[in-house]
Amino acid sequence: MCNPVTMWRVSPGVPEQPLQESPARPTGGTALFGSLYRTVSLLDQLRRAVVLDRLAYDPGGLRRYQDMQVARLVRHAAARVPFYREKYRAAGIDPDSIRTADDLAHLPLTSRADLRAAFPHGLIPDGTSPDNQFLVETTGSTGEPVRLFKDWPALCAIAAWSSPVMLRRWWGVWGLRLMTLLLRQEHSVEEAVVAALPRFLLRVHAGDALASPEEHLEDIRRRRPDIIVTYPTVLKTLATRIVEDGARIPQPRLLATSAEMLDVHARRLIGQAFTGRLVNLYASTEAGFIAVECLAGRGLHVNSPRVIVEVLQDGRPAPPGEPGDVVVTDLTSVGCPIIRYQGLGDVARWSPDPCPCGRSFPLLDVVEGRRIDAFVLPDGRVLHPFTLSHAMVHFTGIRRFQIVQEAIDRVRVLIVPNGQAGADLGGLVAAEFARLLGRGVHVTVDLVDAIPAPPNAHFPSTVRSLVSRPHPLD
């Protein structure tokens, strides 16, 4: 059984079109029909992405497009999605009064706790079933994992905006062999995209970020990817191996990193081993692609036809150049709307100057984010931070957490439990961490009421190492 999933049918320059129903995803049909449907959906989203990306040179057109999308999204959410319907009713919001992107400011914010409480049926439109959407889950690097859904068009939109066609538009690099070295997680957006799309259109080798550097290098030699998408930690580790051991690899043309800060130090280190173009993406499970780095080097352009980003200080727009909390609205996700979501846990500031590249999409500088550290262990292993944060996702009863490596052989886990925590939570977490960290590391688990943010930070980092480890290439 499969209900149709609601989707937008809009293109810039088209003044008004009603919401239409997409064709139902064929669950009972033939594989050929399913493949055809997926192909048509992806090609349609690809066409839209190319058309909409041109709005980067048409600020008036972009504004009109965003206004139209916001008005429809809010009307749709208020009418059909229980969580937003109740939230807006309680706040006395008339959805018809939200007509422009600026009007978003009149709506209440959506938190991680909101999404967790409304999961699953409160997040999706009345009359639709979670079974017809893809369940996705954050990696837990925020300390409070969130589960939500992506419908078929939303997944196709993510695939289209991250396709080689768009990578070429942004960075002038063409390549069809993509390799991802990301966290292999059953319910990640990447896994959903790779699993859902026809392989002849989007051929991706999905590697595992947590595999050893030797395996990564062997994979790169064997598959000769044009483009690698991974985390800075992975590239830094590979760069160290390549420089120290003199290892030779076929050089990818583009290295795209995400999820961690790509600072000057990381760029320098990676640049010593890789000759391909290195760019930074700002993406999230909740809202997909948010911003992509500009080659002019002034920051990341918001993917304005896909998302609207706000940067708030105490609930008000932060002045250009000043840091604030990132709040995002996803204009493409109709099956599980994300409107004024404040749960990303990132801090950014707007560039005060227009970008010399000529694109008008706003320039964002992500200054502080879901920053997490890798742990170097007594046995010499480098443990990727997602190994630890991801382990926490599967325990019931955790509201927040922080994992601190206090010394090379000592790790402390702080947990703020919620009402569902069992009496044995601390012991279970301690046993799992002892397994992951291996012999020679002493693990302490403390249940606490709150985890304070350090001075000058908006929130505590979730995976932190206090062990100073001068890098061999520094």
- Across 325-339, b (16+ Cβ under 10 Å) vs e yields bbbbbbbbbbbbbbb
List the Cα angle 113/119/121 in 5-degree steps: 145
Contact string (CB under 5 A) for Zn ion, positions 252-291, x = contact: ----------------------------------------
What does the per-residue mask of binding to Zn ion show for 359-398, with x meaning CB under 5 A?
Answer: x---------------------------------------
The residues with which 110 forms a beta bridge, in sequence order, are 341
For tokens 């749960």, name the residue: 343
Of 292 and 463, which has the nearer Cβ to Zn ion?
292
Closest distance of CB 391 from Zn ion, Å: 39
81 vs 355, beta carbon nearer Zn ion: 355
Stretch that binds Zn ion, among 2-10, 133-141, 318-326, 354-362 (CB under 5 A): 354-362
- Nearest approach in angstroms of CB 363 to Zn ion is 7
- C-beta of 321: minimal distance to Zn ion in Å? 17
User: Taking contact as CB under 5 A, which single stretch among the options 25-33, 203-211, 331-339, 355-363 is the one that binds Zn ion?
Assistant: 355-363
Out of 294, 328, 391, 413, the only residue in the binding site for Zn ion (CB under 5 A) is 294
Contact region with Zn ion (CB under 5 A), list: 20-28, 69-77, 357-365, 375-383? 357-365
Measured from the CB atom, the residue of 242 and 300 that comes closer to Zn ion is 300
- E-state strands within 295-422: 300-302, 307-313, 316-317, 324-330, 338-341, 347-350, 363-368, 375-376, 382-383, 398-407, 410-417
In the bound state with Zn ion, the residue whose beta carbon lies nearer, of 357 and 467, is 357
Kindly state whether residue 355 participates in binding Zn ion, applying the rule CB under 5 A. Answer: yes
Closer CB to Zn ion, residue 296 or residue 431? 296
- The β-bridge relationship of strands 410-417 and 398-407 is antiparallel
Number of chain positions touching Zn ion (CB under 5 A): 5
Smallest distance from Zn ion to CB 255, Å: 19
Minimum CB distance to Zn ion, residue 331 (Å): 21
**SS3 assignment, position 468:** coil
Mark the segment that binds Zn ion (CB under 5 A) among 139-147, 188-196, 358-366, 368-376: 358-366
> What kind and span of H or E run contains 89?
helix 82-90
SS3 of 227-291: EEEECHHHHHHHHHHHHHHCCCCCCCCEEEECCCCCCHHHHHHHHCCCCCEEEEEEEECCCEEEE
Q: Are strands 277-284 and 254-257 parallel, antiparallel or unpaired?
A: parallel
The end-to-end CA distance of the chain, in Å, is 58
* Residue placing its CB nearer to Zn ion in the complex, 42 or 363: 363
State which of residues 43, 296, 453, 466 lies at the interface with Zn ion (CB under 5 A).
Answer: 296
Candidates 145-153, 156-164, 233-241, 347-355; binding stretch for Zn ion (CB under 5 A): 347-355
Nearer to Zn ion, 73 or 300 (CB): 300
Span near Zn ion by CB under 5 A; candidates 54-62, 219-227, 246-254, 293-301: 293-301
Residue 69 C-beta: closest distance to Zn ion, Å: 23
Contact 149, 336 (CB under 8 A): yes
- Between 356 and 422, name the residue whose CB sits nearer to Zn ion: 356
**Cα separation, 231 vs 281, whole angstroms:** 10
| Closest CA relative to residue 197, chosen from 305, 307, 47, 40 | 40
Query: Considering only residues 357, 382, 416, 430, which one is a binding residue for Zn ion as defined by CB under 5 A?
Result: 357
Q: Report how far residue 353's alpha carbon sits from residue 363's, in angstroms, rounded to the nearest whole number.
A: 8
Reduce the DSSP state of residue 336 to 3 states and report it: coil
E strands in 53-187: 134-137, 147-150, 178-182
> Least distance (Å) from Zn ion to the CB of residue 367?
18
Amino acid at 415: I
The residues, any chain, with a CB within 8 Å of residue 452's CB and separated by 6 or more, are 460
Q: How far is the CB of 267 from Zn ion (least distance, A)?
A: 18
Site residues (vs Zn ion, CB under 5 A): 294, 296, 355, 357, 359
